Amino acid sequence: MGYAADNGIKALIFDIDGTFYPKRAMMLRLATSSLLHLPFALKYNKMRQRLREETGLGEGDTSSLIELQRVESQMMYPGKTPDYFIEKEKHVFREPWERLFATIKPYPGVRAALVKAKDEGFILAALSDFPIGTKLKALGIEDLFDKAISTEEYGALKPSVRPFRAILEELGIKAGEALYTGDSRSKDIDGAKNAGMHTALISRSVSVYNNTDIIFSSWDEFGKMVL
């Protein structure tokens, strides 16, 4: 038996970007498309990093996408209405991301591992900082998921505890009955572990990290270790 069965896991919850596919491939595509908006892109990334640092592992002060965008807008453009920021973000990131993602391929073995998990009765969910849109469909795995949502919809970014607790509540399970899988130690693993979840880190360079339960380097390995 694998880790999930041995530990009473009912739901497998996943990050998407960098977990199901190589994040670097998408970042290169998005960077090229954002060259004409480089000042905004740099300012945006700095703002999101500051927001993560200020919220940390806590709940944060916002609980919806609209509230989060209002805060982000004020951090980037004090005095302007949120509409300006929302349209700029949509034009520079959200629309290009959706268009460019059609060329992205998943890591080998992703669908096979998820099919096996589904066949064994696990709830499958995706929780990502970035908008999900048609990502799961483009990766060929949308049909396998019971729930897919961005942390932004809960008004917070990882590693805030808010989105982790919120998705557990929506799935109707306890933290100890969930395994969260991601590629970021600080955002995915530390965030999920802080919420009480079991965790699995996908990494080809890290062999030891004390705050995670499992480290795997391929999806074939995930299937053997977890399922």
pLDDT, one tens digit for every residue, the chain (227 residues): 799 999 999 999 999 999 999 988 777 777 776 777 888 888 999 999 999 999 999 999 999 999 999 999 999 999 899 999 999 999 888 888 888 888 889 999 999 999 999 999 999 999 999 889 899 999 999 999 999 999 999 999 999 999 999 999 999 999 999 999 999 999 999 999 999 999 999 999 998 999 999 999 999 999 999 99
Around 88, how many Cα atoms within 13 Å sit in the side-chain half-sphere? Answer: 19
Output the furthest CA–CA distance in the chain (Å, rounded): 57
Taking CA atoms, 68 is separated from 89, 119, 130, in Å, by 13, 37, 13
Q: Which of 214, 192, 191, 210 is nearest to 201 (CA)?
A: 214
Q: How many CB atoms lie within 10 A of CB 93?
A: 19
CB 21 within 8 A of CB 111: no
Q: CA 11 to CA 175: how far, in whole Å?
A: 10
Q: Which of 177, 185, 181 is nearest to 218 (CA)?
A: 181
What is the pLDDT at residue 224?
96
What is the pLDDT at residue 32?
73
Say which DSSP state 217 is in.
S
Q: CA 221 to CA 227: how far, in whole Å?
A: 10
What is the pLDDT at residue 38?
84
Q: Which sign, positive or negative, has the C-alpha torsion 94, 143, 21, 99?
A: negative
What is the pLDDT at residue 122?
98
| pTM, entire model | 0.95
Structure tokens at 193: 């572990």
Structure tokens at 205: 């360079």
Give 161's contacts (C-beta < 8 A, 6+ positions apart): 57, 58, 59, 191, 194, 195
What is the pLDDT at residue 154?
97
What is the pLDDT at residue 202?
98
CB 46 within 8 A of CB 156: no
